[in-house]
Structure 1
Amino acid sequence: MRFSLSFPGRRGWLVGSFVGLLSWPALAQQPAPAPRDTSFTTHSAYVKARKQHPTITVARPAAPKTIRTAPNLPYCTLEGGRALRLDVFYPKARRKQTFPAVLIVHGGGWRSGDRSQHVPLAQQLAARGYVAVTAEYRLSTEAPYPAAVQDLKTALRWLRAHARTYQVDTSKVAIWGFSAGGQLATLVGTTAGDPLFEAGACYRSRSSRVQAIVDADGTLAFIHPESGEGDDRKGPSAATLWFGASKTERPDLWQQAAPLNHVSAQTPPVLFINSGVARMHAGRDDMRRQLDALGIYSEVQSFPEAPHPFPLFNPWFEPTVEYTVAFLRRVFGQ
């Protein structure tokens, strides 16, 4: 697939993006709960990616006028008073109408990144008839594996508990994740009912099950011939920091966190959206073979020329949205 696009000067959109980012309530008001690793931001990813792709721009389309926003909502308060927060983007519609929902999970090596990076995606999904939620989760600077997985399952339970407020069809809930967020999304989606990941007291009467998964360049296996995770030769890798141990010290944890090892007849349909960086989707083909054997639908959409953080940039942002919507409409029968 080819795209021929023209864009304004870089300085203009960088200033506009920065001003827009500061004005958004969820970011302007939320204090940092722990020392943050800022090694992965949209800007740093852009600076790196444009060396090979000089025409890319950060994807920040104008917020659609057809949606509502409920920013910076606490979805669970942890011991010690730490509040986990999320943002909801939903269509303006008649009160009796309901919509499928999508929980969006940011990337950043389980250590960096921020939920604000996928606000444009959430807004565009809301404009297409979805209740889109961007949720924070505890990073490895604050809590090791499996806290992030537990947090995201709690966010799903919160979503169902507030379905009436945001007009959610609770039978049609998806999870979408990029990079580390893709691994987390797929692990959440393949471990429904697993008590290891259903921790905490928040909304325990609700289900965290999802009916669809979208994995954008998230690894499916850590200890795998295709995986590049766990290279500690120059210092602890992102995964080692998340697990709190190297893969030689605690291979059981690294295997436990691999979505590939949790595929079952209860796994929902999966869409894989991938860049040209093969190690970022390690285990994908093995997982698809397992899904095929179980009669579970999956599909792959690829941008072979794209860098790893493709969902953040034009020209890949819009087709990523369209692939996501087409898949969800097929799965949810809209």
Structure 2
Amino acid sequence: MRRFLNPLLLAVSTLLSACSPVSLLNALTSTDTYTKTRAIAYGSDPRQRLDIYTPTVKKAGPTPVVLFFYGGSWNSGERKDYRFVGEALASQGYVAVIADYRLYPQVRYPDFLKDGAYAFAWVRQHINDYGGDPDHLFLMGHSAGAYNAAMLALDPRLLAEVNLAPSAIRGWIGLAGPYDFLPIENPDVRPVFFFPNSPPDSQPINHVSGNTPPALLMAARDDDLVNPQRNTGGLAKRLRAVGVPVSEHYYDNVSHISLVAALSRPLRYKAPALEEIARFIDSDGGRTAASAVIKP
């Protein structure tokens, strides 16, 4: 069987390098592991919408919830493109929420983060209606979305606007996130953060405190878009220095983009990202022991 599997995986990887990798990943994504509720408004703007993936088979006890933010340099992205992420999380028994948020040039920093706070508040208030436990609510993001998750977990001013605090977050998960990136080099990102006058308080690493929720940080070892040593490694070091539990992982067989793609069923062989996510959530952010079992 294995000799037939490897050519199949090679073919999938080749196709993913073609014109529409996200469409292919979603086309290969199962639909029997979740029930999807689409386009729920958490605000008045058309971009303030979210989808909920309720697992077909739930874990025993309270059902954890994961609110996911996608990347795209804060100027692109749509929640519909990340059905494979919703399925991956639902397949492990979690309620997954994937939220859109306003993008540049409609808004700049920090308004898209305010959207994240509004989405978090909506989920905390309503997710029980969809089978999730609001007291076991995790944040997760990839790339720019990992930044969004980090800022909600680290900068208490954001959740304070919706009368919440970072303590409402059981833990947060960052995949290839930029957490310390001044001065900004990417020309597409510069206007989002008012370059050359980018505010230092826009950087997650400048908000680390002992009250930060536990973190799981993952990155591609040879990421050429977001420096993993400075960002993932630097933030992990700063978190540990103030006693915050943090789990840190680097992978050789993925890139900045394919790290999140490794959550999909066809590409899980590339990195054990979903396994680490499940272990982190099942251990309540490292508070208890857990052994993740990933379904095929």
* Range class of TM-score, shorter chain: 0.7 to 0.9
1:213 is aligned to 2:158: no
Unaligned runs of 5+ in 1: 18-41, 48-56, 224-228
Q: Does structure 1 conserve the Cα–Cα contact (< 8 Å) formed by 2:63 and 2:95?
A: yes
Separation in 1 of the partners of 2:71 and 2:163?
29
Matches within 5 A, 1:161-172: 161-172=125-136
Alpha-carbon separation, structure 1, partners of 2:140 and 2:163: 23
Question: Match of 2:188?
Answer: 238
The one of 257, 260, 263 aligned to 2:205: 260
Cα deviation per residue 1:203-248 (whole Å; 9 max; x = unaligned)? Answer: x45667312111100111122xxxxx6226xxxx1221212x21x3
Q: Aligned partners of 1:317, 1:133: CA distance in 2, in Å?
A: 24
Please give the per-residue CA displacement for 1:12-69, whole angstroms capped at 9, x wherever unaligned: x96xx9xxxxxxxxxxxxxxxxxxxxxxxx965859xxxxxxxxx8475432424211
Q: Secondary structure at the match of 2:74?
A: coil
Any conservation in 2 of the 1:117–1:312 contact (CA below 8 Å)? Answer: no
> Aligned match of 2:216 in 271, 277, 296?
271
8 Å CA contact 2:25–2:84 kept in 1: the answer is no
Give the distance between the partners of 1:285 and 1:64, measured in 2 at CA. 36
Partner of 1:153: 117
Point out 4+ residue stretches in structure 1 off by more than 6 angstroms. Answer: none
Hey, what does 1:283 align to over in structure 2?
A: 231
Paired residue secondary structure (2:136): strand
Q: Distance in 2 between matches of 1:101 and 1:91?
A: 10
Structure 2, unmatched stretches of 5+, are: 291-296
Does the 8 Å contact 1:160/1:206 carry over to 2?
no
Match of 1:71 among 38, 47, 70: 38
Query: Could you give the per-residue CA deviations for residues 240-286 of structure 1, whole angstroms, max 9, x where no partner exists?
Result: 1212x21x3x14x2x21111111111111111111121634333323
* Separation (CA, whole Å) in 2 of partners of 1:267 and 1:110: 24
Q: 1:178 aligns with which of 142, 145, 164?
A: 142
Report the counterpart of residue 7 of structure 1 in structure 2.
8
Q: Which stretch shifts more, 153-162 or 163-172?
A: 163-172
Equivalent position SS for 1:76: coil
**2:70 aligns with one of 106, 121, 138:** 106
Aligned partner letter, 1:268: P
Amino acid in the other structure paired with 1:190: L
Instruction: Give SS of 2:68's match.
Output: strand
Corresponding residue SS for 1:283: helix
Q: Secondary structure at the match of 1:145?
A: coil
Match of 2:53 among 71, 89, 97: 89
8 Å contact kept, 1:45–1:309: no
User: 2:56·2:90 contact (CA, 8 Å) conserved in 1?
Assistant: no
The separation in 2 between residues aligned to 1:206 and 1:292, in whole angstroms, is 24
CA distance in structure 1 between the partners assigned to 2:211 and 2:273 by the alignment: 26
- Supply the distance in 1 between the matched residues of 2:282 and 2:125 (Cα, whole angstroms): 24
Once the two structures are TM-superposed, the CA of residue 190 in structure 1 deviates from its matched residue by 0.9
Structure 2: distance between partners of 1:101 and 1:317 = 25
Looking at structure 1, the residues matched to 127 and 118 of structure 2 have their Cα atoms a distance apart, in angstroms, of 14
Structure 1 residues 231, 291: closer, same or farther in 2, change over 3 A? closer
Partner residue, 2:277: 324
**Greater helix fraction, Structure 1 or Structure 2:** 2
Q: What secondary structure is seen at the aligned counterpart in 1 of 2:66?
A: strand
Identical positions, percent: 23
User: CA RMSD for the aligned pairs?
Assistant: 3.1
Give the whole-Å Cα distance in 1 for the aligned partners of 2:203 and 2:18.
29
How many residues are matched?
Answer: 271
